[in-house]
């Protein structure tokens, strides 16, 4: 029996490329060695950047490796290519075009402009790339930021867009004893220099305008969603109807409500629902941002959804949207799991 498997990687723009994967080799390693444009970052199963859908054949996770995939995602065929070894010849579908990985990750330096508390547990950090430094990113992708004086890095999706460069805005959830949280709260000041690297990730706005968009954000999962809305706003031509459902645990944890309100003036088709788990009053809905999605929100067969927040929110939103008729391939999600 051959120890080499033929693996086909099928990109969303119809381009399919085959690659030979040796026994004991991951699909990602083989694809990168062959020069294929597969999105990736950590190469160790923790970032989800390399997720693809197994559509033919059998492929499992390397023995002893642990992945961030939800069990339901694995059962639905999702695989992290950096941990995946084919058991037969296989075909994987990638939910991005073959030119999506063209922006290569680079390391750059950026100055801190400001650090501002915008909720009881969220700070807005504005950065400016150092002169001569540059990086590009798609709305929704993330950057890695090194905590000064340490080897620790944290991943953040800018709430700003590439059009705002050299300015970059991050929304950072403050965690008790978190390494970045402590630095931001106790030491960060204007003109401090941060090392950032990116872009990474396969969670980014697709060119499916003008299909209706449903965007579900939990906590600082709002950041990439704001970047997407601003990108849509700047695109010429007709804007899609957008429903943004954003929620936090309590009213004091909500943030960027003024920014959201402003966007409703700029994008006429933007509707919003803001919810809190506890303490709702006034216009706030009681419950989580998934509860706020209603049956009649899915009125179009090509509706696309972007979900960003904690794993349980992603799982619940995916389940609900599929139940309401969204095609699984039109649901894009990024888990935000705090790291301490």
Report, in Å, the least distance between residue 26 CB and ligand FES: 9
- Cβ nearer to ligand FES, comparing 40 with 213: 40
Between CA 231 and CA 283 the distance in angstroms is 27
* Smallest separation, CB 340 to ligand FES (Å): 19
* Interface residues toward ligand FES, by CB under 6 A: 40-43, 45-50, 80, 82
By C-beta, is 50 or 290 nearer to ligand FES? 50
CB of 100 to ligand FES, least distance (A): 15
Least distance in Å: CB of 249 to ligand FES?
Answer: 28
* 11: three-class secondary structure by DSSP: coil
Of 310, 316, 270, 325, the C-alpha closest to 291 is 316
Q: Angle CA(197)–CA(203)–CA(205) in degrees, nearest 5?
A: 110
Closer CB to ligand FES, 80 or 326, in the complex: 80
Question: DSSP readout, 242-309?
Answer: EEEEEEESSGGG---HHHHHHHHHH-TTEEEEEEESS---TTPEES-TTTT--GGG--STT-EEEEEE
To ligand FES, the closest distance from the beta carbon of 237 in angstroms equals 34
Q: Torsions phi, psi of 148, nearest 5?
A: -55, 135
Nearest to 214, CA basis, from 248, 249, 240, 247: 240
Residue 107, token pair as written in the block = 């390391």
Cβ proximity to ligand FES, 92 vs 255, nearer residue: 92
Please report how close the Cβ of residue 42 comes to ligand FES at its closest, in angstroms.
Answer: 4
* 317 three-class SS: helix
- Distance of closest approach, residue 219 Cβ to ligand FES, in angstroms: 22
The DSSP result for 209-231, as a single string, is TTS-EEEEEEGGGHHHHHHHHHH
Closest C-alpha among 35, 8, 41 to residue 137: 41
Q: Could you tell me the smallest distance in angstroms from the CB atom of residue 240 to ligand FES?
A: 30
Nearer to ligand FES, 142 or 246 (CB): 142
Radius of gyration of the chain (CA): 20
Residue with Cβ nearer ligand FES (82 or 226):
82
Q: Which residue, 52 or 180, is less far from ligand FES as judged by CB?
A: 52
Is the distance from CB of 20 to CB of 4 less than 8 angstroms? yes
Q: Which is nearer to ligand FES, 72 or 185 (CB)?
A: 72
Number of neighbouring beta carbons within 10 Å of residue 210: 15
Q: Alpha-carbon distance 82 to 135, whole Å?
A: 24
């Amino acid at each position: 029996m051959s120890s080499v498997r033929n693996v086909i990687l099928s990109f969303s723009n119809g381009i399919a490329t085959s690659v030979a994967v040796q026994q004991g080799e991951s699909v990602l390693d083989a694809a990168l060695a062959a020069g294929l444009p597969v999105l990736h970052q950590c190469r160790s199963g923790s970032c989800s950047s390399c997720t693809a859908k197994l559509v033919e054949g059998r492929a499992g996770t390397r023995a002893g490796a642990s992945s961030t995939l939800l069990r339901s995602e694995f059962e639905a065929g999702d695989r992290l290519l950096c941990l995946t070894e084919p058991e037969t010849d296989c075909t994987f579908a990638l939910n991005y075009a073959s030119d999506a990985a063209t922006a290569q990750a680079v390391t750059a330096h950026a100055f801190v402009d400001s650090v501002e508390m915008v909720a009881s547990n969220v700070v807005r950090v504005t950065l400016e790339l150092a002169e001569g430094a540059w990086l590009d990113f798609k709305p929704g992708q993330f950057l890695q930021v090194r905590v000064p004086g340490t080897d620790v890095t944290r991943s953040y999706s800018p709430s700003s867009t590439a059009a705002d460069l050299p300015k970059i805005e991050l929304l950072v959830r403050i965690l008790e004893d978190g390494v970045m949280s402590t630095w931001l709260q106790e030491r960060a000041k204007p003109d401090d220099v941060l090392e950032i690297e990116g872009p990474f990730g396969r969670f980014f706005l697709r060119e499916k305008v003008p299909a209706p968009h449903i965007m579900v954000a939990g906590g600082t999962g709002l950041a990439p969603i704001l970047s997407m809305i601003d990108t849509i706003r700047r695109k010429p031509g007709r804007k899609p109807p957008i429903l943004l459902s954003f929620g936090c645990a309590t009213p004091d944890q909500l943030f960027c409500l003024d920014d959201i309100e402003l966007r409703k003036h700029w994008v006429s088709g933007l509707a919003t629902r803001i919810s809190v788990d506890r303490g709702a009053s006034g216009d706030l809905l009681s419950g989580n941002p998934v509860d706020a999605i209603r049956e009649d929100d899915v009125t179009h067969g090509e509706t696309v959804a972007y979900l960003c927040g904690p794993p349980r929110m992603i799982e619940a939103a995916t389940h609900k949207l599929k139940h309401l008729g969204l095609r699984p391939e039109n649901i894009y999600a990024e888990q935000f799991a705090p790291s301490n």
